[in-house]
Amino acid sequence: MPRPFKAAEAAEFFSRFAAQDPNPRTELAYKNPYTLLVAVVLSAQATDTGVNKATAPLFRSVDSPQKMVELGEARLREAIKTIGLYRNKAKNVIALSKALIANHGGQVPQNREALEALPGVGRKTANVVLNVVFGEPTIAVDTHIFRVGNRTNLAPGKNPREVEDRLEKIVPEKYKLHAHHWLILHGRYICVARKPRCPDCIVADLCRYAAKTPPPGAKPEVEKKILKQRAKASRAR
């Protein structure tokens, strides 16, 4: 079993991300709290790039719950048909828009229970909205963070909630506001699923992942030596 992170190691882990990118931002394009909520709902099992491509023309004219309801489900489906699961997502967006009008005066609520009561909104979506819109130090665990938490052994867990709970405990308070953005971006561009870019990783020496990817062009015997050295260093920490 990989050795758990110590508090000092977790602090060093996030201090490096903070030094590299002090003020990370979501890659979803939005105009206001409502359009962010819609974008996050649409991003389930879809890429941010794909969502942004579909919402760019949509959000130019539809940027409030009332305008979305007036657009209607059929035209919304047409606008987002390039996004996976678009039919069900369109249904949920129209329903949550009606709920915002009926129960929250057309405004996005700053309340987890109220957010999760909206159609199509789960814990991850609520966490993103609370963090990005309202500046709360929530951690939204998506597939990238789930992978990074388990692969590095920073916050291992069998499901997203377990990873979230472990991150809540291990991430130092001063880094919690941006923690999920750093981890998402790290998982999206460096700690990728099939072949992690370990030679480019700024926390590789802290990571507990034994089978680290060797530098490009390394000969087989060099690869073995590098992996052996890294495994030995990991055990010594």
Residues carrying an active site annotation: 124, 142
Question: To which residue do tokens 């915002």 refer?
Answer: 100
Q: How far is CA 196 from CA 71, 87, 160, in A?
A: 43, 34, 20
First to last CA, the chain: 14
How far is it, in rounded angstroms, from Cα 56 to Cα 124?
23
110 DSSP assignment: S
How far is it, in rounded angstroms, from Cα 230 to Cα 236?
10
What are the tokens at 93? 């967006």
Whether the Cβ atoms of residue 172 and residue 10 lie closer than 8 Å to each other: yes
Structural Rg of the chain based on CA atoms: 20
